[in-house]
Structures are given as C-alpha cells and as structure tokens.
Amino acid sequence: MGDPRLGSRLKAVRTEAGLTQAELADRAGVSRKTINTVENGVFIPSTLLALSLAKALGTTVEALFYLTD
C-alpha cells in the first residue's frame, strides 16, 4: 500500500539511466510489477528493496526517495 508522504524519483532516475522497468527489475532481482508499483506510489519499498534499487541504479536511496512534507 502507498503513502502520500513518500515521494519517488525512481522513474526519472531509471529513464535517465536508459533502463526499462524490466531491465531494472532484472538488475535489482525483483519483478517488473515491483518496479511499476514503487514508481506509481502504490507500494512502499522496504529498506532492503530501496537499497537494492539504489545499488542497481548506481545511486543512493535519498536520491530515489524523499519525504513530501
């Protein structure tokens, strides 16, 4: 389930890196639907998943997610 307090730059960073959802999913070892739900704010990733995504994109968790308030 999503939470409006969590902002995400995942889609922007992914497209900047030249990756499709499926490619990022493959790199991070998750399903494409995981990427889709996180990008759309439907699902809040755990710390582990956020770190995996940041590692797969060669960035930090703070660069991918932020608090909206």
Q: Which CB atom, from 32 or from 61, has the smaller least distance to other proteins?
A: 32
Residues near other proteins (CB under 8 A): 1, 12, 15-16, 18-23, 25-26, 30-34, 36-37, 40, 42-43, 45-46, 49
CB of 51 to other proteins, least distance (A): 13
Distance CA 13, CA 45 (A): 16
Q: Which CB atom, from 25 or from 54, has the smaller least distance to other proteins?
A: 25
